[in-house]
Amino acid sequence: MQTSVTRYLEEEGVEYRLLPHRQPAKTVEEAARERGVDPQQMVKSILLRDMSGFHVLACVPGPAQVDPTKVRNMFGCRRMTCVSASDVEKVTGLIIGTVAPIGLKQPLPIIFDHSITAHSHVNISSGDRMAGIELATDDLLVLCDPMLADICRTA
Q: What is the pLDDT of residue 2?
A: 87
User: Residue 97 has what pLDDT?
Assistant: 87
pLDDT in tens, 26-62: 888 999 999 999 999 999 999 999 999 999 999 999 9
| Count of beta carbons in the 10 Å neighbourhood of residue 89 | 17
pLDDT score recorded for residue 4: 87
Q: What is the pLDDT of residue 37?
A: 93
CA angle 28, 30, 34 (to 5 degrees): 115
Q: Can you give the pTM of this predicted structure?
A: 0.94
pLDDT of residue 116: 96
Give the per-residue pLDDT at 27.
87
Per-residue pLDDT, 78: 85
Give the DSSP per-residue string, the chain.
---HHHHHHHHHT---EEEE-SS--SSHHHHHHHHTS-GGGBEEEEEEEETTS-EEEEEEETT--B-HHHHHHHHT-S-EEEPPHHHHHHHHSS-TT---SSS-SS---EEEEGGGGGSSEEEEE-SSTTEEEEEEHHHHHHHH--EEE--BPP-
CB 11 within 8 A of CB 108: no
Residue ranges, the chain, pLDDT below 50: none
